Each structure stands twice: as C-alpha cells, then as structure tokens.
Structure 1
Amino acid sequence: MPLSPQAERNWEQVCSVLQEALEEQPGRQLFALELGSGTGQHVVRFAQKMPFVTWQPSDIQEEARQSIRAYIAATNLTTVLPPVHLDASEPWEKWGGVPRGSCDVIVAVNLLQYSSFKTARGVLNGAGQILKANGLLVTYGAYAINGTIAPPCNRRLHEELRKMNPEWGLPDVDVLRQLAYGNGMRMERMVKLAHAGLKKNKIKL
C-alpha cells in the first residue's frame, strides 16, 4: 500500500481538532465525507479514533481509490465505506451520489492548495448543499490571509505549487470566507497547528 510521509506526520493533529469539534455532539452516529482522500491513511486513522462516525472517502483518481480500498481491507474497519469517485469542481449532484443534507462533517486535508479556484468554489458550493444544518466543513492546509502569505516556507510552497500548475497555490482565507457566506456558511474559527504556517479552518453552517 502507498505510504505518504506527510499524512503520517499530520494525521494526529488533524484528528485531535476533529475530535474536539465533534465532542459537542455526544451519543450520535455521525456521517462524514472526506474530499480528496489520497492514499486513505487519514480516513482509516480518523475511523479508528472516532468509531461514532461513518466515513465516506472519495478521490478523483482510481489509483488513490485502490489504495483506500487496501487500507480499509488491512484495518478491517466497518465504519469506512468503499471510496467513490468525486471531482469537487463539479456540481454537488455529481459527488458520488451523496444526498443533499446528508453530511454532519466534510473534511478536506491538503486539498485546496493543490487545486484550482474552480475546485475551491466547488467545495464551498457543494458543502452548502450536502451539509446538514449546523454541519461542519473542516479544511487543513496552508493559506494566504488577506493577500499575504507567511512565513517564508509557505511562500516557497506557493511558488512551488505555481510551477507545478499555474492554477494551484495557497488559497486566500478571505476569499474562502466570502464563498462560504454566499453558500449559507460562516467561518467559525482557525486553529494553528504545530507545523509552522499550517492552519485548519472550520466553517460552520
């Protein structure tokens, strides 16, 4: 199975933020959609730590979905569903058959900076449709704030991403905030994690 060193480094911190956010909903069986699940390392780790959540992993690439299936099989987890093909830049109706208003949580780890603005807009548009009332959209990654990218390591990351694909790069939190507002959501808070410059946004309906 593919192993992402980056996923192994950050899953515990992302998971701790998710656990804290979901502590407010005790005694409930929740449904979560992960966008861009990649290798599947995150979703199986999250499922092991939060058995009260049923997880729907997704990815645009078949190779990634094969890896996710392998991780599910290796861990024997029953709370992780088979991965679905999902292109977040497309309208939510094409999001792997996920119904409107069905998700308590949507998670996107290191997705937005490796995507075009069309995808970022699609994530916010789709989340506004498929999240339940008071549902959570949780994203993790490096971001620009009011047009400023800091510290220097994030500026280097942004430049490297631009070289890989001119449509990629660190999205601006203020732009995401406006997109969220236009889709019936508000940015609740940002949490700075131990990795310098990496922040998690939780956007709540």
Structure 2
Amino acid sequence: MSRVSDVGTFPKDNNSYHGEKLIYPAANRNKEPILQVLKRFILHQEEDEESHLFLEIASGSGQHLAHFAPNFPRVQFQPTEIDESLLGSITYYADSCETKNILPPKQVDICNKLSNYGFIENSVDYLYCANMIHISPFKCTVGLFENAQAYLKSDALMITYGPYSKERVITPQSNIDFDASLRARDPSWGLRDINDLVKLGEENNLILIDTIDMPANNKILIWKKC
C-alpha cells in the first residue's frame, strides 16, 4: 500500500500514518537531480576495502536513500528521522534496496548529540540533509551544524538541499510564497539565509565550498569540515 503526499518531508497529520510505504511526489522529482550531484562528490571506489558511512538526517519517507544507495554499493547509508511514524516507510525502502546497503533507520533528534544514538565522533564520511532546514525551528539547523563538526571525519562533507535566501532576498515569487506559507504554519520555520548559514558553518569548522543551483528553485550547498 502506498500513501501519496505532496507536503515534502513532514506529513500534515502524523496520526494518519501507520508505517506504510510513502511516496512523496517532490522526492520523486528531485531524487535524480540530487543523485547526479552526489556522483560528483562521493569518491568511493569499488576496490576499497573500507566502507564509507553516509548519514542522512530527516529521511522523511526514505525515498532518497532508496534511489541513491544502488549507485554506491560500497557506501553504507544510515537513515534517521525524528518522526517515529515515518520509520516504517523508511524500513520498507531499506529492505527493498537491491544492494542491501541501507541500514535500519534510527529515530534521531538532531538537536541532541549523535552519540546519544550510538554514533562515534569523527566517524561519518558524508552527512546529508534535504528539506529540513526550512521546515524546522532554527535550533535544528544549529544542531545539524554542531553535530557535523563533531561527527564528520576531517575533510568530510555535509550536503544540504532546499530553498534558501541570499542577503535577505528570496527569489523567485514562488519561494516568497512558500516562505510565507511555512511561517504561517509555524513562525519558527522559513527559508534560511545562506550568509547566516556560512557564519554558523564558520563557528563549527565547516566551510561552504560549493553552491549548486537545482530544479524548482532549490540549491545544494556543499560544506567541508576543516
């Protein structure tokens, strides 16, 4: 059974979800463009003996990792999600992965230290977070950056995806409308400014090394741990 939602990472009514496979149309549309960017930055060779760890924060339905993982069979993908009602969908996609390199999901609140969930400092090769920064209180973004500093290996990457403002300007009009709708739903939500994120990155030894324009007025930001 599949339940279709247009709301992105967070369903409107958590009580209506019971762990079934979820299909978010937005995730179906953006998963391939994001994968093409990941192929430029995930440098893991088949002959490597050591498996690399790709940690996803706010996995939502689980569709992204299900699409990414078969393309990097030597990478171990770890999904996480704060919303317990979504763990069943993530598990469905993980169990269905032909390359069997998606680990069981963990329920994680990114505002807490990742060591609370069994992660070891300086052990993560790639930290990936899509469509959380603007659909959560800013303290979640702070937690994301603080955990990236502590748990990424030296020179490892954090990859964030979503819409952003730049120098307090939001473009185009569709993103202005989206930001307004988010803030009407929860005043603590909304598009974050790239300059603010750069400052937060500097406070946590993370440097923005690339900004990539994506379809539907989104961007991928590539951060490197110093």
TM over 0.5: yes
Aligned partner of 2:208 in structure 1 is: 187
Provide Cα deviations, 1:28-55, integer angstroms capped at 9, x if missing partner.
4311100000111101111012212100
Query: In 1, distance between residues paired with 2:173 and 2:220?
Result: 19
Query: In 2, distance between residues paired with 1:89 and 1:164?
Result: 21
Aligned partner of 1:8 in structure 2 is: 28
Equivalent residues, number: 202
Provide Cα deviations, 1:178-202, integer angstroms capped at 9, x if missing partner.
111111110001000132x210100
- 1:60 equivalent in alignment to 2:82: yes
SS at match of 1:113: coil
Query: In 1, distance between residues paired with 2:188 and 2:75?
Result: 34
- The structure 1 residue matched to 2:123, chosen from 96, 102, 105, is 102
Aligned partner of 2:101 in structure 1 is: 79
- 1:171 equivalent in alignment to 2:192: yes
Identical positions, percent:
30
> What is the correspondence of 1:1-205 to structure 2 with a 5 Å cutoff?
1-23=21-43, 25-26=44-45, 27-28=47-48, 29-94=51-116, 96-195=117-216, 197-205=217-225
Structure 1 range deviating more: 154-163 or 67-76: 67-76
Shift, 1:131, TM fit: 0.2
Determine which structure has more spread, i.e. the larger CA radius of gyration. Answer: 2
Structure 1: runs of 5+ lacking an equivalent: none
The two structures have a TM-score, normalised by structure 1, of: 0.94
The two structures have a TM-score, normalised by structure 2, of: 0.86
- Aligned-pair Cα RMSD in Å: 1.2
SS at match of 2:86: helix
Provide Cα deviations, 1:123-172, integer angstroms capped at 9, x if missing partner.
00000000001110000000011111111111111001001111000011
Structure 2: runs of 5+ lacking an equivalent: 1-20
Query: In 2, distance between residues paired with 1:113 and 1:83?
Result: 22
Query: In 1, distance between residues paired with 2:166 and 2:111?
Result: 23
* 8 A contact 1:44–1:77 mirrored in 2: no
